[in-house]
Amino acid sequence: MVSFTLTEDQQALTETLRRYAVNDVRPVAHDADEDSKLPQAVVQKGWELGLIPAVIPEELGGFGDPLSAVTGALAAEELAYGDLSLALAVLSPALFAYPLLLYGTAEQRENLLPLFLEETPAPVTAALLEPGIFFDAHELQTTATHEGDKVRLNGTKAYVPLAAESHWMLVYARSSETGVVEAYLVEDSVAGVQVESREKLMGIRALPTYRINFNDATVDAACKLGGVVGMDYPALLNRQRVALAALAVGVARASFEYARDYAKQRVQFGKPIAQNQAIAFMLAESAIEIDAARLMTWEAAWKLDRGEEATREAVLAKQYADKAVLFVTDNGVQTLGGYGFIREYPAERWLRNGRGFPAFAGLAMV
């Protein structure tokens, strides 16, 4: 039955997250960006919202809610509406937790899921993206070579969030024998894992991301996510596409709402600039693109939740959202005119953050 209405739980959740985004995140977002520093108290508060414990099974001490991509998309949008760096930081434990929850062996789950029931954010991350100008998730350069009950990892990963402070990371690598991509649960103490210096990016400056070198980093074969069965990699790729699309919608909405309010209040030639069709149409087109991108994201998420093949929907939603967020945030800057170029106003930050989405892969997960 076609419906665009949130469940009561989803409604309550989005309201909570919106309050957090507006009251906690927005006030610190500018300084966080300028200082390239995550405000730990706000991240901590984000952790305490309990997004991940909610989906940990009851028998392991969680709340046992089903893991829903739709709910995840709703949450991601609200968090990114606050700030993208902080959203990615708050959501980063999911990069490890959700694949583990979905595909981990009983042992892996029992051992590691309790990490996500602590009072502070679980010190985990995941490494998918690789450096260079082109990235193909199906042809990873990082390799995993099985030798007996050991696996050697070799290669370089990029854009790994919070790597320097993570004790565990999920590393995606291509089997040098079969070519199949698998994920490995790797501890930071493993020899041959080298976290390089922090990356400098155009946007998401508050979020520390790193390159990591794997130089014959050797782990037990038992660290392979899901054991013999492994994982459903295409599904995970779709989950990260949906997450990123939802985050893009959140960034776009932030920019749009700000520009809309600015245009209504900024007077030039004796009237609010919003009363010029040129500005009003720009805003209207932004509004349409945001809604379209959101609906596409929801549809892909809905298919994921039904367990259906969702690659087409997820890919198109991600591509559409990539374009939409650039269109909308660029319009946002344009609406503010000269002020759009000044960093005291948030519009330019949303443009910098918004432009990053086509490059982001594996930075979030629903």
Partner 1 sequence: MTIDFEIPEFIQQQQAMVEYIAQATMRPYSRELDENEHARPTAFIDQIWPILKEQQKATLRKLTETPDPNKPKRPSTTYLRLMLLVEMLSWGDAGIYLCLPSAALGGSAIEAVGTPEQKIRFLTRFAEGDKPVWGAMAMTEPGAGSDTSAIQTSARYDEATDEWVLNGEKIFCTSGGLALEESDGLVIVWATVDRSAGRGGMKPFVVEAGTPGVKVVKAEIKHGIRASDTVAISFQDARIPADNILGSSEVQTGAGNKGFKGAMATFDASRPLVAAGALGVGRAALEFLKEKLTESGIEIPYGTPYHKLTAIQRDVMEMEADLKAAYLLTLRAIAMLDEKLNNSLEASMAKVKAGKVVTRVTQKAVELLGPMGYSREWLAEKWMRDGKINSLYEGTDQINTLVVARRILEYSRNELS
Window 53 to 72, contacts with partner 1 (CB under 8 A): 70
The answer to whether residues 258 and 290 touch, using CB atoms and an 8 Å cutoff, is no
Window 329 to 348, contacts with partner 1 (CB under 8 A): 330, 333-334, 337-338, 340-344, 348
Window 247 to 286, contacts with its own copies (CB under 8 A): 276-278, 281
The alpha carbon torsion through 24, 26, 27, 33 (nearest 10 deg) reads 120
Nearer to partner 1, 12 or 41 (CB): 12
Task: Give me the residues paired with residue 272 across strands.
Answer: 267
Nearer to partner 1, 133 or 191 (CB): 133
Q: How far is the CB of 231 from partner 1 (least distance, A)?
A: 16
Candidates 37-45, 131-139, 220-228, 246-254: pick the segment binding partner 1 (CB under 8 A): 131-139
Q: How far is the CB of 336 from its own copies (least distance, A)?
A: 18
| Number of residues near partner 1 (by CB under 8 A) | 83
**Phi-psi map region of 65: left, alpha, beta (phi>0 left; psi -120 to 50 alpha):** beta
Please identify which residue in 65, 188, 196, 199 interacts with partner 1, judged by CB under 8 A: 199
The answer to whether residues 288 and 256 touch, using CB atoms and an 8 Å cutoff, is no
Distance CA 360, CA 322 (A): 10
64 binds, among its own copies, partner 1, none (CB under 5 to 8 A by kind): none
The answer to whether residues 298 and 242 touch, using CB atoms and an 8 Å cutoff, is no
Please identify which residue in 2, 106, 191, 228 interacts with partner 1, judged by CB under 8 A: 2
- The token duo for 118 is 């602590």
3-state secondary structure of 344: coil
19 binds, among partner 1, its own copies, none (CB under 5 to 8 A by kind): none
63 binds, among partner 1, its own copies, none (CB under 5 to 8 A by kind): none
45 binds, among its own copies, partner 1, none (CB under 5 to 8 A by kind): none
Q: How far is the CB of 279 from its own copies (least distance, A)?
A: 9
Distance CA 333, CA 287 (A): 15
Question: Can residue 288 be called a binding residue for partner 1 (CB under 8 A)?
Answer: yes
Distance CA 283, CA 256 (A): 7
Question: Can residue 189 be called a binding residue for its own copies (CB under 8 A)?
Answer: no
Residue 105: C-alpha distances to residues 11, 99, 127, 175, 227 (Å): 33, 11, 20, 19, 6
Regarding beta strands 181-187 and 271-272, do their DSSP bridges make them parallel or antiparallel, or are they unpaired?
A: unpaired
